[in-house]
Chains A and B, each alone.
Chain A
Amino acid sequence: MDLNQLLLFALAGLATFLIRLSFIALLGRMAVPVWVRRILPYVPTAALTAIIVPELLMRGDVVFLSLSNTRLIAGLLACGVAWRTKNAFLTIGAGMVALWVLTAVVGRE
């Protein structure tokens, strides 16, 4: 076992656990600050979008804005399916099928 990695997992795990425990532990002991309550709803949207967009747009260190960017096209199609159906299974399925079809057409990047 790599002890440095285990220590890293312990820290990351503890941080994750404390975030999940936060309000469960604090309830009744302190009021949630208003500004925290105001921005919390945007956390998942902002954090996950910051992961999604580079996954679709960047190749290495370069922006790859092109019709032959299979991941961009498949990702945009998945966004449309997610918007219309709100169904995770369909979104992921449509995105993967689109990626495979596009890859077959324009070749693997």
Chain B
Amino acid sequence: MTTEISTRRRREFLGGVRAVLPILLGVAPFGMIYGALARDAGLGPAEAQAMSSIVFAGSAQFLIAGLIKINAPAFIIVASVVVINLRHALYSASMAPRLSGLRWPVKILIAYLLTDEAYATVIPRYRERADPVGPDLRHWHFLGVGVSLWLCWQATTALGVFLGSAIPAAWQLDFTLPLTFIAIVVPGIRNRPALAAAVVAGVVSILAFGLEFKLGLIVAAIAGIVAGGLAERVLARE
């Protein structure tokens, strides 16, 4: 029985590794760009690497490096990280019922590994039925996905830190950041409240651009979120 469970665990874990392989192709250049960008922003090699292991959140790490470069105060940086990563609360809410039977150390590990990419990759496995016999071991699938992403992010950060300015500036690889976000955001705009959220956030981000320490980002994000909520309410009344 025990052997059988350990076999199933391994199968779930390796299934996760396989599922995330194509995603790693997109994550790898991003990790390298982060490493190079962090060095360019004035972070030391050890600091750049430490941020990847401690924070482990791509877009937030770009933001932190950018804010360190312009000497933004720490509370602004942490507040911006909270705004940028608030979307992860949504993934947390979605994963919560699926993890409710697990032990705390597993929940904590999964929360640490809960990135956009990990969430997007594991959801199909959770939509399938669990194996009909024995305990539900799908969290091992999550761990296969999450650990692969983590290792990829650490390795490509190191590579980017090492290569640094050897990556030609003419390639303009920093443009992959807005492009990656476009790839996440645009397919998600499927109704009028979401469109309202995007339009308001976009307009306010330009109007509030001059605010100190990139505060415009927080203001624009909150304006967009409120606009989305209000639009949904107004449309529901019609």
A83 to B186: give the CA distance in the assembly, Å: 6
**Nearest CB in chain A to that of B204: its residue:** A50
A106 to B55: give the CA distance in the assembly, Å: 39
**B-chain residues with CB within 8 Å of residue A52 when the two chains form the complex:** 178, 181-182, 185, 202
> In the complex, which of the residues A24, A40, A71 contacts B110, with contact meaning CB atoms closer than 8 Å?
A24
**A-chain residues with CB within 8 Å of residue B55 when the two chains form the complex:** 9, 12-13, 16
Report whether B225 and A89 are in contact in the complex, using a CB–CB cutoff of 8 Å: no
**A-chain residues with CB within 8 Å of residue B110 when the two chains form the complex:** 24
A3-42 interface mask toward B, CB cutoff 8 Å, 1 = contact, 0 = none? Answer: 0111111111101110111111111100010010111111
Report whether B92 and A21 are in contact in the complex, using a CB–CB cutoff of 8 Å: yes
**A-chain residues with CB within 8 Å of residue B229 when the two chains form the complex:** 35, 38-39, 42
Does any Cβ of A come within 8 Å of B130's Cβ? no
B168-203 interface mask toward A, CB cutoff 8 Å, 1 = contact, 0 = none? Answer: 001110011111111111111100011001101110
B46 to chain A, nearest CB (A): 6
B42 to chain A, nearest CB (A): 10
Report whether A45 and B197 are in contact in the complex, using a CB–CB cutoff of 8 Å: yes
Report whether A1 and B47 are in contact in the complex, using a CB–CB cutoff of 8 Å: yes
A56 to B63: give the CA distance in the assembly, Å: 16
Could you say which of B1-9, B13-21, B83-91, B159-167 contacts chain A? B83-91
Q: Is the interface of B mostly helix, strand, loop or mixed?
A: helix
**B-chain residues with CB within 8 Å of residue A44 when the two chains form the complex:** 87, 90, 184-185, 188
**B-chain residues with CB within 8 Å of residue A22 when the two chains form the complex:** 89, 92-93
Report whether B25 and A24 are in contact in the complex, using a CB–CB cutoff of 8 Å: no
Interface residues in B180-238 (C-beta closer than 8 Å to A): 180-189, 193-194, 197-198, 200-202, 204-206, 209-210, 216-217, 220-229, 232-233
A63-89 interface mask toward B, CB cutoff 8 Å, 1 = contact, 0 = none? Answer: 100000001001100110011001111
**Nearest CB in chain A to that of B188: its residue:** A45
**B-chain residues with CB within 8 Å of residue A23 when the two chains form the complex:** 89, 92-93, 95-96
Report whether B88 and A8 are in contact in the complex, using a CB–CB cutoff of 8 Å: no
> In the complex, which of the residues B171, B204, B217 contacts A51, with contact meaning CB atoms closer than 8 Å?
B217
Does any Cβ of A come within 8 Å of B112's Cβ? yes
**A-chain residues with CB within 8 Å of residue B92 when the two chains form the complex:** 19-24
Does any Cβ of A come within 8 Å of B123's Cβ? no
A108 to B46: give the CA distance in the assembly, Å: 33
B2 to chain A, nearest CB (A): 28
> In the complex, which of the residues A24, A40, A99, A108 contacts B111, with contact meaning CB atoms closer than 8 Å?
A24
**A-chain residues with CB within 8 Å of residue B178 when the two chains form the complex:** 51-52, 55-56, 71, 75
**Nearest CB in chain B to that of A83: its residue:** B186
Q: List 7 A-B contacts (CB under 8 A).
A: A1-B44, A20-B92, A22-B92, A24-B95, A50-B204, A53-B205, A88-B183
Binding site for A on B (CB under 8 A): 22, 25-26, 43-44, 46-47, 50-51, 54-57, 59-60, 63-64, 68, 74, 77-78, 81-93, 95-97, 99-100, 107-108, 110-112, 114, 170-172, 175-189, 193-194, 197-198, 200-202, 204-206, 209-210, 216-217, 220-229, 232-233
